[in-house]
Chain A
């Protein structure tokens, strides 16, 4: 991998973005994806880490 591609894979800090900022985004795919990330950040993962690969019960 190039250093550029590694840099692009570094984690992105979402703290500076509010949910209103995200909802106002024009790119609908990005908007939906970031809303999911924000939801996951708020809800946290104190109770559950990982879904069973061979099941989809949609409890997130």
Chain B
């Protein structure tokens, strides 16, 4: 048996509450209810112990680099003071360690201000923003606890974040696909902020809770159709902004690994630390059933090496061996990788299914690969003439 692959990315749930109440949120509005038992904010003691465990893990595996991502809930909910306390805990543990850390966070952006921007600049921490498109689309799901729209306020925050002063800390957008929205309008809107990157996410549905537009027919492909239109627009423009799902599919055409855990067969080397210090394999499994993410470990009791041996973690290190027979015999296996783990779930069969988006993934992969292959063939032919 080969040695386990050490963790590289550590997702810190620095806040387990949120100022938004997005209808599709896997933390609060799908299957899992464990957020209610979590402290609202990660304490200094949890942060310090987590940082110590990460350093211990890096040193045990001779790792010179690692990533820490602040997540939630909303990681800015505690304001600049809480953010600074979390970062100070990391700095106190890693100073003089020789380990290079990449620091980032995923936020809804509504609490961003100059004080936080200065802190991020000073501590070299990037921030990704969740945004589903122009206001009329974004406000369908991304609302506050009174059901009010949030886009108008977010647009003013984005004006500050993308100003010359703070643009360096702005990493890009995460956008959940809404098949009822215009894909080109959404893509144009996101690109108008000139982000370094974007990713389009498939909603966290599964066989028990089927995606919108696929309720009665899993062979329907509204998500592929949406993504193909977005891809064609993006590819025809040749913009510098990366779109992670598309770049990953293109990478794999050239046998370069996917950039994201939801595609391909490469090991998933990330782990989640809850606000009370408990470890989770991946937080999005909260969309499947109550307690799905629970590993039974805590930074106070367990080293990360112990989590490396947990079945749920091992299953994401072994590539095709953890997939269902149908996926293992599919010619697109190495690119698709069975799709994203939460999308494979059914209460009758666990995760031993193809993705509920299987038909969409097949159509999208073929389109991207055919488009890129054809374009490359044309370039090569013209260069020979």
Roughly how many angstroms separate A58 CA and B254 CA in the complex, as a whole number?
Answer: 21
Residues of B contacting A52 in the complex (Cβ-Cβ under 8 angstroms) = 9, 11, 69, 71, 261, 270, 282
Task: Report the minimum CB–CB distance from B137 to chain A (whole Å).
Answer: 18
Given A37-B256, A50-B268, A51-B9; A56-B244 close (CB under 8 Å): yes
Residues of A contacting B235 in the complex (Cβ-Cβ under 8 angstroms) = 29-30, 33
Residues of A contacting B257 in the complex (Cβ-Cβ under 8 angstroms) = 40, 45, 49-50
Which one of B247, B262, B372 lies within 8 Å of A53 (CB-CB)? Answer: B262
List B167-226 residues whose CB lies under 8 Å from chain A: 171-174, 196-199, 201
User: Interface residues of B, CB < 8 Å — how many?
Assistant: 76
Docked-complex contact A53 and B201, CB < 8 angstroms: yes
Given A28-B237, A47-B65, A48-B9; A53-B260 close (CB under 8 Å): yes
Instruction: Assess whether B105 is interfacial by the CB under 8 Å rule.
Output: yes
**Contact indicator per residue, chain A 15-44, by CB within 8 Å of chain B (1) or not (0):** 000000100111111111110110011000
Task: Report the minimum CB–CB distance from A2 to chain B (whole Å).
Answer: 10
Docked-complex contact B370 and A8, CB < 8 angstroms: yes
Docked-complex contact A33 and B172, CB < 8 angstroms: no
Roughly how many angstroms separate A11 CA and B162 CA in the complex, as a whole number?
Answer: 38
Question: At the interface, is chain A mostly helix, strand, loop or mixed?
Answer: loop
Roughly how many angstroms separate A56 CA and B128 CA in the complex, as a whole number?
Answer: 5
Task: Report the minimum CB–CB distance from A54 to chain B (whole Å).
Answer: 6
Task: Report the minimum CB–CB distance from A53 to chain B (whole Å).
Answer: 5
Docked-complex contact A25 and B65, CB < 8 angstroms: no
Residues of A contacting B378 in the complex (Cβ-Cβ under 8 angstroms) = 27
Residues of A contacting B5 in the complex (Cβ-Cβ under 8 angstroms) = 49
Which one of A9, A21, A30 lies within 8 Å of B366 (CB-CB)? Answer: A9
The residue of chain A having its C-beta at the shortest distance from the C-beta of B249 within the complex is: A33
Roughly how many angstroms separate A21 CA and B238 CA in the complex, as a whole number?
Answer: 16
Which one of A12, A32, A37, A51 lies within 8 Å of B238 (CB-CB)? Answer: A32
User: Interface residues of A, CB < 8 Å — how many?
Assistant: 39
The residue of chain A having its C-beta at the shortest distance from the C-beta of B100 within the complex is: A47
Instruction: Assess whether B348 is interfacial by the CB under 8 Å rule.
Output: no
Task: Report the minimum CB–CB distance from A58 to chain B (whole Å).
Answer: 3
Residues of B contacting A28 in the complex (Cβ-Cβ under 8 angstroms) = 237-238
Residues of B contacting A26 in the complex (Cβ-Cβ under 8 angstroms) = 379, 382
Docked-complex contact B8 and A47, CB < 8 angstroms: yes
**Contact indicator per residue, chain B 266-287, by CB within 8 Å of chain A (1) or not (0):** 1111100000000000111000
Task: Report the minimum CB–CB distance from B356 to chain A (whole Å).
Answer: 15
Roughly how many angstroms separate A34 CA and B251 CA in the complex, as a whole number?
Answer: 8
Which one of A37, A53, A55, A59 lies within 8 Å of B250 (CB-CB)? Answer: A37
Residues of B contacting A1 in the complex (Cβ-Cβ under 8 angstroms) = 331, 366
Residues of B contacting A40 in the complex (Cβ-Cβ under 8 angstroms) = 251, 256-257, 259
Docked-complex contact A31 and B238, CB < 8 angstroms: yes
Residues of B contacting A32 in the complex (Cβ-Cβ under 8 angstroms) = 238-240
Instruction: Assess whether B43 is interfacial by the CB under 8 Å rule.
Output: no
Residues of B contacting A34 in the complex (Cβ-Cβ under 8 angstroms) = 376
Instruction: Assess whether B338 is interfacial by the CB under 8 Å rule.
Output: no
The residue of chain A having its C-beta at the shortest distance from the C-beta of B198 within the complex is: A56
Docked-complex contact A55 and B174, CB < 8 angstroms: yes
- Residues of B at the A interface (CB closer than 8 Å) are 5, 8-9, 11, 26, 63-65, 67, 69, 71, 102-106, 126, 128, 171-174, 196-199, 201, 234-240, 242, 244, 246-247, 250-262, 264, 266-270, 282-284, 331-332, 335, 340, 365-366, 369-370, 372-373, 375-376, 378-379, 382-383
> What are the 8 closest A-B residue pairs judged by CB atoms, nearest first?
A28-B238, A57-B104, A58-B171, A56-B128, A29-B235, A50-B261, A55-B106, A30-B375
Provide a sorted-by-A list of 10 A–B residue pairs whose CB atoms are within 8 angstroms. A9-B369, A12-B254, A30-B376, A37-B256, A48-B9, A48-B65, A49-B266, A54-B106, A55-B106, A57-B69
- Residues of A at the B interface (CB closer than 8 Å) are 1, 5-6, 8-9, 11-12, 14, 21, 24-34, 36-37, 40-41, 45, 47-60
